[in-house]
Structure 1
């Protein structure tokens, strides 16, 4: 028994060393390829790859086959190019999760393999790749259809509005799923499409409601939209601890794909995506409406923060790793954070946002009694999630997620906005701006100065530089509301707002009695509210939120 264990360790060590050696050789070969300026340079790189193949044949991967086939094509060695291309094209997926057909019919394939296009073997490979591609997308579509497969509902047939309301609250048309992982297509507009990837808990039960966590990726300016995604792209690497703790806590993970133009940071063209994706997801699987969360890293963390400040209604809480806490498409109305919560995991060697600014930001939010926490990890750069030492941060995140729930009908609301698309928060909606007059005395900007920043110099050393910048920008005039309700009475204070709607739920007021609305101490409404079935159905179908159900609304012009 002891001999077997020792032999296993020796073999395991040799295998790890072999893999490391293969990786080292292919990395050096790739560096030689980048440096190559002529035929001799490309031959040298190809020879280095082939040496790695001969020494470690069991370690040959898709990336190695791809690079060698490109090099052979450049050198016009057709036989050798197809020697490597043929097994590559036949791969169902490579080590990165890419299907083999993408190397033959991908965006840049004919450019990279231009010297092979006249070879009959290229035509044969391409025809098979097109068949493989069609089969791949057909499989994706079938799985997506299965994701949305639910039992037919009969809500529209219910005539009694009170019964309709109760049916909405316990609405459950969901069915078992055949997969754990789904790539779901998402239409941005008539010319742009992307996708989101859904990872379900083991033994997903459609009878049970599950928490859901969006992860927003960073580097949005260097990313491109993708019409499909695969598990290998999302569940490992920097995201490994999301996967680990989501599986342990039965949390559904969702990974959207953004780009420079359509994202959650700037510009505003793609900001609608996450709430819209959530509404789509709720049509296929059983989500706990009061336990939907957003997290992200870098630009994704800034996105998480932006949803908190601009559009938090469907979400319970927000998290960010290495966050830049600022709205880049308008004003950063920091008081809006008091409606939800945010946990920031920062590092002391972050070029993206400096520790001194995080300190001042935390002080500002503590002064507002906001539900905000910052955890500082010293000795780590911006790419903190890459390190194993980041694991405790994920434990904090999921511990918070387990116990936190959204209050769908908060007694008090404070909301400020400068774009009418975001004039909505919980039971107040459709707020319209009128910034022509003088703002109220209590309607004030909150800001602070940042005087130093971290950046890398030419030697890749992190240095501190002096800056003089405001933490937030306020490019437009804003409107603000402070509202509360109790005992069928709503009291609102407004500044820079011309009209709004108050959405009504029987969990907020007694519908047997009059509802009164006071705005700036003046009575604007006093009457009973009845159920409106058409309004109920329309708003429920849009959001499918079984906790935050509106039965009618009151529109007020100020």
Structure 2
């Protein structure tokens, strides 16, 4: 009888613990979903603290982030228009959602940067992208048309922030495939795509430039253009022989510079075509194959990045340049294959680069003009059960074991809204 009573007590204890664990898991799931839509300021900090108070296992939390984000089903579909402010200036954007959108399914995204931006109409894109431009009944992806005009040009930092905002807003409301976000541009938009890649390569799976003028990016933006930054993303570039604005004969030398800097861009010269897209049917299959074969790898084993603005544009995926040295080394500026400087620049802005390669848990880093950098370490890329070794400029910078950190995981989830790029440790290296 005593033994029977003891077994009942044990069974009751196990059941109570199971129900308590189930209840705790529901709380964690709910808080993670709350964090997904509240990523700014004090709200996100409060939610992160609440999750940490629940003390979930790191691996369970990762599983929730990957699989338990619930997207609303009552979202707008078809032709959708957004209006919002960036830097206190009203911006406009067209979003085209498949009519059969299913919140349980991930969708690829294509962002198109339009041309003819030297106008005063912030809604100019709506004059040629209308509700009849696409058939939402047959779409298999989400299409984005941001707007650019004289107050917000594609080669302006305001537009870098604009595209960040659009992608973040999309992630909060729609179930998108974070590794399948593609950037494309036409004419001025194609020119702008080079500027975007120069400042932020993290979100893009591919970039396509159609009849653009990369030669003008440095001068138009009055910014240094770092050709090796383009190597972070696969490119497909098209120019035409009879284009009176940007003929292929003038663009080809730029593509050659990209290749000298290590880029493997697909480059098509379309004979007999002008400043138009009439050649698209001829490359339709090539473009489709290019998109399907190039899905973003968030944990690339090799990353290069150069920046002159560490505060806003020091990051490429899991590598961050935190701080530059005060004494600049300008030797690289003499190498025309790597850096393009605006013709009217009176002085050279300080910049620095980082080049990271990995083999197992060994990380080799080469830097120039960098005082401090951060490596965001993911359990999906590195083995946390073994020591991590970091060499910087052939000197040992770090060697030791690291532990999965829940705060790091939640911090970067709230910043990135990326279920495929999850980090467990921040490794800061000061040189």
Q: Same fold (TM over 0.5)?
A: yes
Q: 2:111: which partner in 1?
A: 214
Among 149, 152, 156, the alignment partner of 1:259 is 149
Distance 1:441 1:496, change over 3 A: same
User: 2:215 matched to 1:340?
Assistant: no
Among 158, 170, 185, the alignment partner of 2:83 is 185
Please give the TM-score of this superposition, normalised by the length of structure 1: 0.62
Among 394, 402, 405, the alignment partner of 1:521 is 394
Q: 2:361: which partner in 1?
A: 488
Instruction: Report the alpha carbon displacement of residue 363 of structure 1 after superposing the two structures with TM.
Output: 2.7
Counterparts of 1:436 and 1:448, CA distance in 2? 18
Distance 1:151 1:203, change over 3 A: farther
Instruction: Report the alpha carbon displacement of residue 427 of structure 1 after superposing the two structures with TM.
Output: 1.0
Distance 1:444 1:519, change over 3 A: farther
Counterparts of 1:398 and 1:261, CA distance in 2? 34
Specify every segment of 5 or more residues in structure 1 that has no aligned partner in the other structure, as ranges: 1-149, 450-468
Q: 1:354: which partner in 2?
A: 247
Instruction: Report the alpha carbon displacement of residue 437 of structure 1 after superposing the two structures with TM.
Output: 4.5
Q: 1:501: which partner in 2?
A: 374
Contact kept in structure 1, 2:378 and 2:422, CA below 8 Å: yes
365-374 or 485-494, larger mean C-alpha shift: 365-374
Q: 1:423: which partner in 2?
A: 314
Q: 1:194: which partner in 2?
A: 91
Instruction: Report the alpha carbon displacement of residue 187 of structure 1 after superposing the two structures with TM.
Output: 2.1
Counterparts of 2:286 and 2:85, CA distance in 1? 34
Specify every segment of 5 or more residues in structure 2 that has no aligned partner in the other structure, as ranges: 1-29, 36-47
Instruction: Report the alpha carbon displacement of residue 475 of structure 1 after superposing the two structures with TM.
Output: 4.3
Instruction: Report the alpha carbon displacement of residue 495 of structure 1 after superposing the two structures with TM.
Output: 0.7
Counterparts of 1:342 and 1:299, CA distance in 2? 17
Instruction: Report the alpha carbon displacement of residue 416 of structure 1 after superposing the two structures with TM.
Output: 1.8
User: 2:410 matched to 1:537?
Assistant: yes
Q: What whole-Å deviation, never above 9, does each CA across 1:406-454 have from its counterpart, x for those lacking one?
A: 01111111222222222211111143222515467899441699xxxxx
Counterparts of 2:265 and 2:197, CA distance in 1? 12
Question: What SS does the corresponding residue of 1:391 show, helix, strand or coil?
Answer: helix
Question: What SS does the corresponding residue of 2:81 show, helix, strand or coil?
Answer: strand
Distance 1:448 1:173, change over 3 A: closer
Please give the TM-score of this superposition, normalised by the length of structure 2: 0.78
Instruction: Report the alpha carbon displacement of residue 403 of structure 1 after superposing the two structures with TM.
Output: 2.5
Instruction: Report the alpha carbon displacement of residue 275 of structure 1 after superposing the two structures with TM.
Output: 1.8
Asked which structure has the greater RCO (Cα within 8 Å, sep 6+), the reply is: 2
User: 2:132 matched to 1:234?
Assistant: no
Among 323, 329, 346, the alignment partner of 1:432 is 323
Counterparts of 1:373 and 1:504, CA distance in 2? 32
Distance 1:252 1:339, change over 3 A: same
Task: Give matches, 1:465-484, under 5 Å.
Answer: 475-484=348-357
Question: What SS does the corresponding residue of 1:490 show, helix, strand or coil?
Answer: strand
Q: 2:173: which partner in 1?
A: 284
Counterparts of 1:431 and 1:200, CA distance in 2? 37
Among 327, 337, 362, the alignment partner of 1:446 is 337
